[in-house]
Amino acid sequence: MKKTGEKKKFTDYLLILNDEEIYWSVWGQLFYMDGQKESTLKILTSIEHSLCIYFHVFVEYFEIELEAAMDNYNDTLYERGRSKPTAYDLGRYECVRCGGCCWAWPCSITPDDSLRISKYLGISESVFLENYTVMINNDLRTLRRTEWTDVSGTRQDGYRLWDINTPCVFYDDSKGLCNIHSVKPEEGRVYKCWEEGKILNDKMQVLREKYNKKLRSLLAGGK
């Protein structure tokens, strides 16, 4: 993305990223680089016919290794997020500040969240987006700790909310507190680990549909 001196709002970033067709996609809790993998395979298919047998062996190896790396990445994050008992584990119906969700699951940032949090921090929306969020696909931003993550020596060039050794950038692990609790993302407000199963899934689905509807309107130039 080309940077300019012009201040940008959340919707400006969405339009720019949409125009540049950045192909980041989300698979489960991992960020699978479809665009880069596709490009790699296209290059490989140009190899001369005499090398085809080696090409097929490499493609198979490439896919197996990528699958294993992603599984390891997901498992590592999940285990770190579950290192302390959750409210669900304890049979409680209120947050116990275990930090599990802040360690292992990212909060997506909606336009409303972006505006609300930037005002709370006393900074412009463009500064907030540049310094506290990353793009995880071409229409969704999330809070960040770092842009790159290296798990067990296997580099996964995808965007996460944090790196493997630290939680959300706004989570104080020593106190078990969110530093922007009063204005935290709507997704973080809706998610409650003790509401397992259909209730929680339905609530998250309603939130995502609400966001997607507004996003489509913004990209179409609506209000």
Task: Report residue 86 as tokens.
Answer: 């959750």
Q: Which two tokens stand for residue 206?
A: 């309603």
Report residue 78's pLDDT band, with 50, 70 and 90 as the boundaries.
low
| Confidence (pLDDT) at 47 | 44
pLDDT at 190 over 60: yes
Residues 30-54: what's their mean pLDDT? 47
CA distance 129 to 110: 11
Please tell me the pTM assigned to this model: 0.51
Residue-level pLDDT at 114: 84
Q: How far apart are CA 190 and CA 125, in angstroms?
A: 23
SS3 31: strand
In angstroms, the Cα distances linking 178 to 114, 124, 188 are: 16, 21, 10
Contact, 81 vs 105, CB < 8 A? yes
Q: For 170-189, write each residue's pLDDT tens digit.
A: 888 788 888 999 999 888 88
